[in-house]
Every structure is written in C-alpha cells, then in structure tokens.
Amino acid sequence: MYVIGGASFLLSITFALGFGFDDIERLSKNTVLTIFTLGIAYVSGYINQEVLSLSPMLTTGRIKNPNTLLKFLYRRFTKSEFKEPNDFEYTSERIKLLKFYKEDELKDFERIIALKHIGSAVGSNWLIASIILLVACFIKKECLIVWIISSYFLFAAIALILLAWIKGMQQYVAMNELLKHMDKKNTPEQQL
C-alpha cells in the first residue's frame, strides 16, 4: 500500500514540477530507475502516513473516545453502537490471541487490520497528492482533467481516512470480543 500511495505522491510532484506523461513514460523504460523509484515510493508512502498520523487527522493507533461523527459513521457502517472496549495492552494481548486461536479463526480480525492499513496508507498519500495537484492546477490554470482527477483523489482520500478510523474502532472492539471469548474458554468450568 505504501508503494501505491507513495507513487501517487511522487507523480503529483512530477506533474507540479512541469513534467508530462511523455516524460514519465520515457523514464519508466529504464528498469533500474523504475525499481529505484518504487523504493522511493515505498519510503515516501510510509513517511507521509506517519507524518499525517502525528496530526489529529489520522491515527494508526488505538482510538479512545471517538467523536460524535466517528460514532455515527461506525453505527452506519457496522449497524451496531460503538462500546469502548476494556483497557488492555495491545501487543501482549495480540500475542496471546495468535497463540490461542487458529489462523482461520482470526481471518476477520486480520482483515480489519489490513483494511485499516490500506485506508491510512493510501488515504494519507492521496490527500497530500490531491492538494499538490490542486495547487498546481490552480497555478497553471489549464489542466481540467488533472483538476477532475485530483478532486476525486481528495474525495477518496477523505473517505479512506474516515474508513481507517472506523476500522481502528472495529479492530479494538473485535480484539476485545476475542479476548472475552478466550477468557470464557479458559475458565475452570469450561475446561471440565
């Protein structure tokens, strides 16, 4: 996901600097340069996500006390109310889950984490790329198609970032439920 987000970011910079699609196509025929660019795209994508996660706009960590909008979106998306999970130390509890459950029992939980990662990695990079493209179009005043594409990227970025927040909320609710279920299976009555 970092490569996709980072490549979008790098392409927006090349456009803003005045390079056209012909220039990019010509450069992409060089295999070494392409591999190097993919490496830069990965690193750029990662850096952009982490930098945006320092702002209140994006989080890659635990979501405590979500605001009213996030609770509303969570309810619309999951068809259930958000209940703040019990407090737990994420890393040690996840290790317990991985030891206790079989891989196929955790696939829905792991899917939530993967979707959160997609939303935060691609969404943050598309947000930055769309802003760069919109500013470049405003300055150049002659790029309607790029204006349309960057407007879509802006809309998609906001949607992906909101979905990352929702998936973050789902992640902790799901983990809390898995831990409760694990505790029930480990009670002395259940072991008899």
Q: What is the pLDDT of residues 145-178, one digit of tens each?
A: 888 888 898 999 999 999 998 888 888 888 878 8
What six digits make up the tokens of 89?
């130390």
Please report the sign of the dihedral spanned by the C-alpha atoms of residue 7, residue 10, residue 16, residue 21: negative
Global pTM reads 0.79
SS3 content of the chain, % helix, strand, coil (to 5): 80, 0, 20
How far apart are the C-alpha atoms of 7 and 13, rounded to whole Å? 10
94-131: b (≥16 Cβ within 10 Å) or e: beebeeebeeeebeebeebbebbbbbbbbbbbbbbbbe
Residue 142: count of CB within 10 angstroms of its CB: 8
Which tens digit of pLDDT belongs to each residue from 41-95? Answer: 888 888 888 888 888 778 777 677 788 888 888 888 888 888 776 666 667 777 7
- The span from the first CA to the last CA of the chain, in angstroms, equals 46
